[in-house]
Amino acid sequence: MTTTRKFGLIAAIAAGLGLGSAATAQDYPNESITWIIPFSAGSGADTFARTLILATEKVLGVPIVPVNRDGGGSAIGTAFASAQAPDGYTIFSSSDTLAVGVAAGQWPVEIDAIQGVARVNADYKVLVVPGNSPFQTFEEFREFALANPGAVRLGGVGARSFSSVFANKLIANTGAQLNYIPYDGGSQIVAALVGENIEAGITTSSNINAQVDAGDLRILAHSLGQRAVDRPDVPTFGEIGYADMSDDLLWRGVFAPAGTPDEVLQALSDALQEAIKDPNWRAYMENQRQQDAFMPYGEFDDYVKRIVAEYKAGL
């Protein structure tokens, strides 16, 4: 451990005792930061992290070193990162996948070992049907599902996932009996929809944008808190009257080990909020058709813990 890292730990302990907090804020960061990416190189989550890293290190003025530690559905890298010294020099990025994995009890890490730093962007969830489906509107879908219990096959990603939780919300809100069909990934849902093997699907917008643009699929409703700029004619679930399905996003964010000093977390959150103004980051967001969903430190940590609790109840 470097002398600087030792000083950081001493400062963190002092901050926890109410001593030296000003020094912690003043001195951080003064060496390179390791950013754990718990996903494989070349994946969407990897591209997200590396693009954000380049923008963030410009703001902080120190190098940020990306390190891929994939495996276990991102559990391995998450567990490794959360076990590092809580000094702000090891952070990691993840997504809604973290909340699902922790809630399901499938990972060797508990939510109390993780500190949310900031939510950065998001992809909204959609209820989508084939392009030639008789359902032109959500109301038509709901009326048919209520009149024909079990007749609607609803595809989603996995049996215990964001899709299954969202499907449970849809079932609870509509009162309809839907036949949930789990698939291994978004591409399989798309194939099943285009092939008319299922009547509807729950996935994220990024999985179906191309097919919707081509007219092969149609979105009946989505989970943003307001209408999407690129889909102005598609209603939100909030508009339909389902408040618990509004602003329900598949998000990505940045985390740190629990116990990281508040001043350091705030400095990181502020830097990320500035980094997302970077032109290269804005170009990435536009190309990927992602949604701005920044949520600062404190608010984001509370949000993650609430989402984990919701998933535990809904899985």
Q: What string of DSSP letters covers 139-184?
A: HHHHHHHHHSTT--EEEEE-SSSHHHHHHHHHHHHH----EEEEES
Q: Which fold has domain 3-122+248-314?
A: D-Maltodextrin-Binding Protein; domain 2 (3.40.190)
Q: Convert the pLDDT of each residue in 293-311 to its tens digit.
A: 999 999 999 999 999 998 8
Nearest-angstrom CA–CA distance, 67 and 231: 36
Q: What is the pLDDT of residue 157?
A: 86
Confidence of residue 314 (pLDDT cuts 50, 70, 90): confident
Q: Convert the pLDDT of each residue in 129-156 to its tens digit.
A: 999 999 999 999 999 999 999 999 999 9
Domain segments of the chain as ranges: 3-122+248-314, 126-244
Token pair in block for residue 298 = 């404190």
Q: What is the pLDDT of residue 203?
A: 92
Confidence of residue 160 (pLDDT cuts 50, 70, 90): confident
- Average pLDDT taken over every residue of the chain: 90
Confidence of residue 80 (pLDDT cuts 50, 70, 90): very high
Q: Is the pLDDT of residue 22 over 80?
A: no
Average pLDDT over residues 256-270: 98
What is the share, in percent, of the chain residues with pLDDT greater than 70?
92
Q: What is the pLDDT of residue 26?
A: 66
Q: Is the pLDDT of residue 278 over 90?
A: yes
Looking at residue 310, the DSSP 8-state letter turns out to be H
Q: Is the pLDDT of residue 275 over 90?
A: yes
Q: Is the pLDDT of residue 12 over 90?
A: no
Query: Do 3-122+248-314 and 126-244 agree at the fold level?
Result: yes
Cβ pair 182, 153 in contact under 8 A = no
Confidence of residue 33 (pLDDT cuts 50, 70, 90): very high
Nearest-angstrom CA–CA distance, 213 and 211: 5
Q: What is the pLDDT of residue 3?
A: 38
Q: What is the pLDDT of residue 113?
A: 97
Q: Convert the pLDDT of each residue in 35-57 to its tens digit.
A: 999 998 988 889 999 999 999 99
- The pTM assigned to this predicted structure is 0.80
Token pair in block for residue 6 = 């030792």
| Cβ partners under 8 Å of residue 73, min gap 6 | 97, 101, 106
Confidence of residue 181 (pLDDT cuts 50, 70, 90): very high
Q: What is the pLDDT of residue 23?
A: 37
Q: Is the pLDDT of residue 9 over 70?
A: no
Q: Convert the pLDDT of each residue in 202-253 to its tens digit.
A: 999 988 999 999 999 999 999 999 999 889 999 999 999 999 999 898 999 9
Cβ pair 199, 152 in contact under 8 A = yes
Domain range 126-244, CATH architecture: 3-Layer(aba) Sandwich (3.40)
